Amino acid sequence: MLKPFHTPNVIEAGCDEAGRGCLAGPVFAAAVVLPPDFHNDLLNDSKQLTERQRYALREVIEREAAAWAVAECSPEEIDKLNILRCSILAMQRAVEKLSVKPEHLIIDGNRWYTYPIPADTIVKGDATFMSIAAASILAKTYRDDRMKALAKEYPQYGWDKNMGYPSKAHRDAIRQYGATPHHRMTFRLLPEEQLTFDF
């Protein structure tokens, strides 16, 4: 069962990101402040839920959370800053958009940068604390929505199914059609032995 708080009696926001390992699309992040009495037996790390469960829980979270926000970093920012920096930056942007200012942050993972609000990093936090699990669901579903929309412009890459992750079908499409403006050019889009060079 997920824990309600890491630090009781303070306004605490859980933060998580989605899309860190993708070859295309932005990285999304969410921050969620849950009320002290929040409880939902289905709430879990987004990766442990079906798509239907994630979207059903998103409605619950958006309706019942004390505050929530979603933010992103673009592929261009990822190529310029690197994916770790952008994952953290997206979470910080989400925190800054919250309608309630948190007094403490709990972050899924083991990396964070100096920030005005005290924070703790928690490995597998999305499977430990409710607010991080809620943030993981929002980040995942909003990013999936974006990739499904982009798939309508670039149907050959299958982003409505692979969400930009390095599936075989996605890499086969890159090999056949090349990269798009939504691909992360600093990522290894194709395995090294399959790359061709014009110089």
Whether residue 112 is predicted with pLDDT greater than 70 in this model: the reply is yes
pLDDT band at 1 (very low <50, low <70, confident <90, very high): confident
Number of domains in the chain: 1
Report pLDDT digits (tens) over 70-103.
999 999 999 999 999 999 999 999 999 999 999 9
**Residue 38 CB neighbours (<10 A):** 18
pLDDT band at 191 (very low <50, low <70, confident <90, very high): confident
Report pLDDT digits (tens) over 150-188.
999 999 999 999 999 999 999 999 999 999 999 999 999
Strand order, beta sheet including 119-122: 67-73, 27-33, 12-18, 104-108, 119-122
Whether residue 195 is predicted with pLDDT greater than 90 in this model: the reply is no
Single pTM value for the model: 0.94
Measured at the CA of 136, the angle between CA 131 and CA 139, to 5 degrees, comes to 120
pLDDT for res 43: 94
Length of the chain: 199
Domain CATH number, residue 42: 3.30.420.10
Whether residue 132 is predicted with pLDDT greater than 80 in this model: the reply is yes
For residue 95, give every residue at least 6 positions away whose Cβ sits within 8 Å of its Cβ, in sequence order, or none. 13, 15, 31, 69, 102, 105, 117
3 part of a folded domain:
no
Q: Can you tell me the distance from the alpha carbon of 91 to that of 83, in angstroms, rounded to the nearest whole number?
A: 12
pLDDT band at 45 (very low <50, low <70, confident <90, very high): confident
Average pLDDT, the chain: 94
Listed in sequence order, the DSSP H helices in 65-197 are: 75-81, 83-97, 130-153, 159-162, 168-177
Q: Can you tell me the distance from the alpha carbon of 111 to that of 121, in angstroms, rounded to the nearest whole number?
A: 7
Whether residue 114 is predicted with pLDDT greater than 60 in this model: the reply is yes
The pair of structure tokens assigned to 127 is: 């499977």
For CA atoms 119, 124, 130, 132, the dihedral sign is positive
Q: What is the mean pLDDT of residues 20-44?
A: 96
| 138: containing domain | 12-194
pLDDT for res 194: 53
The closest alpha carbon to 97, from 114, 74, 77, 72, belongs to 72
Q: Can you tell me the distance from the alpha carbon of 90 to that of 57, in angstroms, rounded to the nearest whole number?
A: 22
Whether residue 126 is predicted with pLDDT greater than 60 in this model: the reply is yes
Whether residue 197 is predicted with pLDDT greater than 90 in this model: the reply is no
> Under a CB-based contact definition with an 8 Å cutoff, are residues 95 and 135 in contact?
no
4 part of a folded domain:
no
The owner of tokens 């409710």 is 130
